[in-house]
Structure 1
Amino acid sequence: MANTLLVAGTASHVGKSTVVAGLCRALADRGRAVAPYKAQNMSNNARVVPAPDGDPGEVGVSQYVQARAARVAPTTDHNPVLLKPRGDRESQLVVDGRAVTHVDTDDYYRDYWSRAREAAVAAHELLADAHDVVVAEGAGSIAEINLHDRDLANLETARVADADVLVLVDIERGGAFASLYGTLELLPADVRERVVGAAITKFRGDPALLEPGIEEIEARTGVPVLAVLPYDDPGLPAEDSVSLPAADESAVRGADDGVPDARRVTVAAVRLPRISNATDLEPLAAVPGVRVRYVPPTGRIADADAVVLPGTKNTVDDLRALRDAGFGDRLRAFDGPVVGLCGGYQLLGAALTNAGVESTDDVERLPGFGVLPVITAFCTEKHLERVSLDVVDADPIAGATGTATGYEIHMGRTELTDRGAARADVTHPLGPRSVATSDALGTYLHGVFENATVRDAFVDGLYERAGVPRPSPPADRDSPADRAAALVSDAGLVDALRDATDLGV
């Protein structure tokens, strides 16, 4: 039976996902059989992996990345309960990779929490039986006293897994010592006893400046501060849209690569109100010279080199929001390539039918933006599949060859209209569930820009249209998982945990 470490936090976005990924890679590099685990996640960024019965299922993107960091195949056991928000206090409940129902908070805790807990306990037992170490990720703050009787990702995980607990606190937010002290004070006694240490994250400057505060907090709480992690972004995918830049005219990713502005191209990514799988854009933002600018539905797109509509957890309501913002007129006036990914693909079509499946009201048909000659009919069954597709050389990814891999998560079937089927310029560059014209592409393939052949062809086309040379790529860098491992190892956290726990690291 494996030993379990729960990496908890004083708040959301204190670095839990990065630290877990770094520990998984560092432990794997030291010869330990390690597995990540998050009992309950809330995220619309998901990946398709095998479920317990071998069929495709869903997990949060962080656990997918952490499993790869641990050098194990991702499965739904790594994230047995996933809540995917869709607006109006309602989420889709996914258990063991399968969509169960849509629930609001009251329904979940009254009718489904016990089932979710059973799935989480069973998944942890399977992981613990097959590995030396399980590194579990908490959710939000471990000290939410209003949730202490039903905190599956934190308190229940600590108790069920008999876990040691590491508490992270983000010093960039300010008030780090007060946050840590208050968190420890609010923990139930049995979980407080499990805390083996704390780590300060996202520190900029000389760690010696923290020494008086560290000495005081250790004296007051008896909990050692095991490490101070410097501010760094290893490049791991964000768990949810809260990590995206604010949707305004200066919200960009990929602006710190040293490329002069005159040699940049800009992709306008529409920050949909219910955006999902926003990580699809991150491979583009990592390309030297490419800026991904997140714009609100009311934002400007005319000066961009391309527009991407990402996925959405609620296509119908986001279509309405875009129409209310006048986005359709700006999209029709845009002179450049347009890409729709999953829900964004559906938005670009001529219409949505059986739309009541996606919305809280009973609506049968809504007109889309008409950029692509397709119609999407919604259905209650969710399509989950990992796919490998032959790439067809066609605009706006002209020059792409070979195969492209990724995954599909969607509800609805998209087909050509009669007029679209008769058009000579319509192609299917990424398999039958994609459609392209000379200046637009729609595809259900999540992870499409993770494929170098597609990504490079798309970026090459942007630079050709812009009439400027594309910057040369930099020298190879370590993988994000390796950089996360270096972050926790160089700060001394791995060695400190070896001395503070029975993890055998």
Structure 2
Amino acid sequence: MATTLLVAGTASHVGKSTVVAGLARLLASHGVDVAPFKGQNMSNNARAVLTPNGSWGEMGVSQYVQARAADVAPTTDHNPVLLKPRGDSESQLVIDGQAVGHYEAGTYYETHWDDTRKAAKRAHARLAEDHDVILAEGAGSIAEINLHDRDLANIETARFADASILLVGDIERGGAFASLYGTLELLPADIRRRVEGIVITKFRGDPDLLDPGIDELEAKTGVPVVGVLPYDDPGLPAEDSVSLPAEGNRKTVGEDSQTETVTVGVVRLPHISNFTDFEPLARVPGVQVTYLPVEAEFGAVDALVLPGTKNTVDDLLALREAGVGEAVASFSGPIVGICGGYQMLGEQITNAGIESTVDRDTVSGFGLLPVKTRFQREKRVQEATVSVDGTGPINGATGSVTGYEIHMGQSEPLSTISQPLGEQSAVHGSVLGTYLHGLFENRNVRSAFVETVANQAGVDRSTHPSTHHSPYDRARDLVTEIEQEWFETVFPEAVTDMEASR
């Protein structure tokens, strides 16, 4: 039976995903057979992967990344229950990769709690049969006492997986010691006994300054602090919109040096999804990615992107009301629409009521691409590999690209048009539309896009380096701060394998 470690947190966005990815990379690099797991995730950043029965399904992006870090093929068993928020306290429920329906929170717990718990337990059992170590990631705070009777990702996972627990607290936001102490005090007694260690993340400065607080925390709780991880962003894809600016605010990530940069503006849609599509661009030296509120002026960016969305029609209407249609039409730089953004750039969307509560069947798009989209109730979920005939914003790109599609509409050209990324794409002038998520993870397209943007903006990129470090390896380097003695306690057989591999 596999050893399971649950990496739980005092709150959302404290670094759980990074710790799991780093541990997965560290163990895998020493020959340990390790797999990630998250019983229930809530995220609109999903990837298309295979289900246990061999069909295509969806899973949260963090578990996809963690599987890659562990050097195992991603499968929905790594994230058997996924909730995709779509606004108004409603989420789409995905079990074992397949969409089940849309539910408010109360309805979900009343009608599907038993089904989701059983699905998560079965998925963990399958992983435990095939791997030696399971690294489970919790969700939010493990101390949400109002949810302890239905907390699938934390409490239930700890129990059915017989897991040890590593508690993660983020010191950057302040109050870390109080959060860690309070979390331990609020845990059910059987869960509290499972906590084997504490990790403090995102520390800046001299860690010796924490020693008095660590000593007192350990004395009060009896739980050892087994690592203080320095502040670093390895560049792993973000799981949820906590990492994005709030609506109406702006955020820029990427190159911040004094050398010339190009800036790619991503419109921060109200129901934005799969915004991890643009993180590979932000890791390119000399490139900034800025998330723009819908009311923003676009003159300060060199390229414009309309990203994916969980609600294309409502977001399209919101953009139109904010005057974005005119701003997009007058924008002179390259424009890329991905998935829902592609649909918005077309002439029209029909069957609009399938996705939205609008009282009309047809909604006009921005008209920058001669295509029309018809919504269908069946969702298309699959990986895709297509040949590239680079034109428009990806001028000069050749070869092939791999990505994934998750959408409910099909787009058809209204006239003869270039389709540089297969049938589900279109280019008109400097405007590109595609359903292919993960597009910029492909170096050939990413490089062609950046060069096209730089050339049009008159930016010299010859002074920028062309390499960057693997985010998986950077995450691994972070968790090497965790004490070796703790590894020997929690993973005795795995540590033996690690020592033998050195």
Into which bin does the TM-score normalised by the smaller protein fall?
A: over 0.9
Provide Cα deviations, 1:428-469, integer angstroms capped at 9, x if missing partner: 000000000111000000011111111111111111112232
Secondary structure of the corresponding residue to residue 201 of structure 2: strand
Match of 1:110 in 2: 110
- What are the residue-to-residue correspondences of 1:9-24 with 2, within 5 Å? 9-24=9-24
Secondary structure of the corresponding residue to residue 272 of structure 1: coil
Counterpart-to-counterpart distance in 2, 1:93 and 1:471: 47
Match of 2:237 in 1: 237
Identity of aligned residues (%): 62
The answer as to whether partners of 1:3 and 1:503 remain within 8 angstroms in 2 is: no
Counterpart-to-counterpart distance in 2, 1:363 and 1:495: 64
Counterpart-to-counterpart distance in 2, 1:249 and 1:158: 38
Q: State the shift of 1:498 in Å.
A: 2.2
Q: State the shift of 1:360 in Å.
A: 2.8
Alpha carbons of 1:338 and 1:494: their partners in 2 closer, same or farther (altered >3 Å)?
farther
Q: State the shift of 1:397 in Å.
A: 1.0
The answer as to whether partners of 1:226 and 1:497 remain within 8 angstroms in 2 is: no
Q: State the shift of 1:361 in Å.
A: 4.1
Match of 1:355 in 2: 352
Match of 1:186 in 2: 186
Q: State the shift of 1:394 in Å.
A: 1.3
Match of 2:427 in 1: 436
TM-score (norm 1): 0.96
Match of 1:149 in 2: 149
Q: State the shift of 1:477 in Å.
A: 4.0
Match of 1:492 in 2: 482
Equivalences, count? 495
The answer as to whether partners of 1:394 and 1:429 remain within 8 angstroms in 2 is: yes
Provide Cα deviations, 1:59-80, integer angstroms capped at 9, x if missing partner: 1000000001000000000000
Match of 1:264 in 2: 261
The answer as to whether partners of 1:497 and 1:503 remain within 8 angstroms in 2 is: no
Match of 1:504 in 2: 494
Counterpart-to-counterpart distance in 2, 1:169 and 1:503: 27
- What are the residue-to-residue correspondences of 1:24-423 with 2, within 5 Å? 24-246=24-246, 251-256=251-256, 258-260=257-259, 263-417=260-414, 421-422=415-416
One-letter code aligned to 2:473:
D
Match of 1:457 in 2: 448
Q: State the shift of 1:48 in Å.
A: 0.7
Counterpart-to-counterpart distance in 1, 2:484 and 2:101: 40
Counterpart-to-counterpart distance in 2, 1:455 and 1:380: 32
TM-score (norm 2): 0.96
Alpha carbons of 1:501 and 1:402: their partners in 2 closer, same or farther (altered >3 Å)?
closer
One-letter code aligned to 1:112:
H
Q: State the shift of 1:302 in Å.
A: 2.0
The answer as to whether partners of 2:255 and 2:284 remain within 8 angstroms in 1 is: no
Secondary structure of the corresponding residue to residue 172 of structure 2: helix
Match of 2:498 in 1: none
More displaced, 433-442 or 245-254? 245-254
Gaps of 5+ in 1: none
Q: State the shift of 1:336 in Å.
A: 1.4
Q: State the shift of 1:317 in Å.
A: 0.9
Structure 1 residue 470 corresponds to structure 2 residue 461: yes
The answer as to whether partners of 1:406 and 1:447 remain within 8 angstroms in 2 is: yes
Secondary structure of the corresponding residue to residue 409 of structure 2: strand
Counterpart-to-counterpart distance in 1, 2:63 and 2:207: 30
Counterpart-to-counterpart distance in 1, 2:250 and 2:41: 30
Counterpart-to-counterpart distance in 1, 2:372 and 2:342: 10
Counterpart-to-counterpart distance in 2, 1:472 and 1:403: 28
Alpha carbons of 1:104 and 1:126: their partners in 2 closer, same or farther (altered >3 Å)?
same
Alpha carbons of 1:80 and 1:494: their partners in 2 closer, same or farther (altered >3 Å)?
farther
Q: State the shift of 1:500 in Å.
A: 4.6
Counterpart-to-counterpart distance in 1, 2:16 and 2:193: 20
CA RMSD in angstroms comes to 1.4
Counterpart-to-counterpart distance in 1, 2:135 and 2:492: 13
Q: State the shift of 1:496 in Å.
A: 2.2
Provide Cα deviations, 1:376-426, integer angstroms capped at 9, x if missing partner: 111110001111100013112110000011000000111112xxx15xxx2
Provide Cα deviations, 1:459-489, integer angstroms capped at 9, x if missing partner: 1111111223214453644311111111101
Provide Cα deviations, 1:286-343, integer angstroms capped at 9, x if missing partner: 1111111110110111232110000000001101111121111111111111110001
Match of 2:500 in 1: none
